[in-house]
Chain A
Amino acid sequence: MIGRILMAVFSLCLLLATPALAHFGMVIPDSNLLGRPGVVNLDFRFWHPMEGQGMNLVKPAEAGVFTKGKKTSLLTALKEKKVNGFTTWQGQYRVKAPGDYIFYMIPQPYWEPSEDCFIIHYTKTVVDALEAEEGWDEPVGLPMEIVPLTRPFGVYAGNNFCGQVLYKGKPLANATVEVEFYNADGKLKAPAGAYVAQLVKTDANGVFNWSMPWPGWWGFAALHTAEDFKLKHQGKDKDVELGGVFWIYAHPALSSETGR
């Protein structure tokens, strides 16, 4: 009996909590600017970044780095790490030369019962090494991706982030882009559900704009239901939500008082 009540309460909580949470594939480096040759440490997860609620990320289908027109896989070297009991992955890449390094992840399809669909978030972030500042605007060639039009490093809080959403390499008009802050230490509390995941749509050219109000990592997830395939769950065909996710770091705006 108690078990049944607990189950009901749990289900209710899930039902109530779900609408406010947005799913985000995450690829977060320890720094997005590298002043010297060295190692980039990467954190791969599937998360609700504002609420800090984890999900299990099974070993991705692919994880790698794209630079100077070439892809290098980092998949075999990924190490599993439990965070709050959820599976995440740690990666490492040694940068030897100047360049812009686009780190990306293709996860396995994630079954989301509350949305009755599978989710695949193609996730990217850019690290600039030794002031190369070249190559950040190149598409990796993922089925769904955000190509930054704002150079995605050396950006202050309050700056505008402009990106173009590509679906199968072509601009995607009228697409929904969810925006969420990576509330890593959980200090920030959204005043209402609508503030957790904010939302913007792309124009006719697949372009969107967003001003990041405070410093930290900001995630952009362009969403689109796959048109040409479905995946089976318990023998039934289910929709697949494709996401093109991009992560960008906003530095604290400088203060004229401290000069920093």
Chain B
Amino acid sequence: MRQATSVIFFCLIMAVAGLAQAHRTSVYAYVEGGWIKGEGYMPGGGKVSNQPVQLLDAGGKVLAETKTAQDGSFSLPVPNGQPPFQLVLNAGAGHRATFDLKPADFGVPEKPAAAQKPAPAAKQAPMAGVSAPELCVLVQQAVEKSLAPMRAQLAEMTARSEKASLKDIIGGLGWIAGLLGLAAYLKARKMAKGAR
């Protein structure tokens, strides 16, 4: 009985393994809040669970390592050093998948313009534990955050100034009509006096 069970188990494992063989594996990731978040999966459906993921620098040096969770997901802190990086998911026997993380994924321009003057912030030593690309993202977020209300205000001001100009025109017309009316009234009074 026990033997039969193990045979069935063995067959089941083989079947599952065979199924996995027919699939390809794939990996992808994005950068969010100082973390590289990703997923290992199989095209057409299915997640790649409990498999090693490595983060390599441009020279192929391993910077960090982790494993995919049951749902295929994984995350790694953004490393020190300059992108590009490469993620390698190694799910064994011909199931190696890679994903390139480009400088743009970290908010770093592909080719930093040489003519660009360094921002004052860049002159300061980066904060301890914050990598350059991370800092770049943080600065971008901060600038965006502080700009948002200004943008809104600017848009509102533009809208209001357009409205105000219309009001001005109507107001101006009102003034003209009013003054003409007053002049006519005064003239009429003078004429009436003269007639008397």
Contact = CB atoms under 8 A, between A and B. Distances in A.
B126 to A, nearest CB: 27
Interface in B138-154: none
Contact of A97 (B24, B28, B43, B100): B28
A131 B26 CA distance: 7
Interface string A57-98: 000000000000000000000000000000000000000111
Contacts of A134: 43-45
A204 to B, nearest CB: 29
A98 B45 contact: no
Nearest to A134: B45
B26 A98 contact: yes
A141 interface: no
A37 B29 CA distance: 9
A36 B45 CA distance: 18
B134 interface: no
B39 A98 contact: yes
A129 to B, nearest CB: 9
A37 B43 contact: no
Nearest to B39: A98
A55 interface: no
A132 B30 contact: no
B96 to A, nearest CB: 14
A37 B44 contact: no
Interface in A122-141: 130-134
B30 A131 contact: no
A131 B39 contact: no
A134 B23 CA distance: 13
Contacts of B39: 98
A95 to B, nearest CB: 11
Nearest to B44: A133
Interface in B1-51: 24, 26, 28, 30, 39, 41, 43-45
Contacts of B45: 133-134
A172 to B, nearest CB: 28
A133 to B, nearest CB: 4
Contacts of B41: 98, 132
Contacts of A98: 26, 28, 39, 41
Interface in B116-135: none
Contacts of B44: 133-134
Contacts of A132: 26, 41, 43
A9 to B, nearest CB: 51
Contacts of A36: 100
A134 B24 CA distance: 13
A97 to B, nearest CB: 7
A96 B39 CA distance: 12
A96 B30 contact: yes
Nearest to A151: B44
Interface in A12-37: 36-37
B139 to A, nearest CB: 22
Contacts of B30: 37, 96-97
A98 B30 CA distance: 11
Nearest to B100: A36
Interface in A36-61: 36-37
A32 to B, nearest CB: 15
A37 B41 CA distance: 15
Nearest to B27: A130
Contacts of A131: 24, 26, 43
Tell which of B28, B44, B45 has the most Cβ of chain A within 10 Å: B28
Contacts of A96: 30
B89 to A, nearest CB: 12
Interface of A: 36-37, 96-98, 130-134
Given A132-B26, A132-B43, A133-B44, 16 more contacts: A37-B28, A37-B30, A96-B30, A97-B28, A98-B26, A98-B28, A98-B39, A98-B41, A130-B26, A130-B28, A131-B24, A131-B26, A131-B43, A133-B43, A134-B43, A134-B45
14 contacts: A36-B100, A37-B30, A97-B28, A97-B30, A98-B28, A98-B41, A130-B26, A130-B28, A131-B24, A131-B26, A133-B43, A133-B44, A133-B45, A134-B43
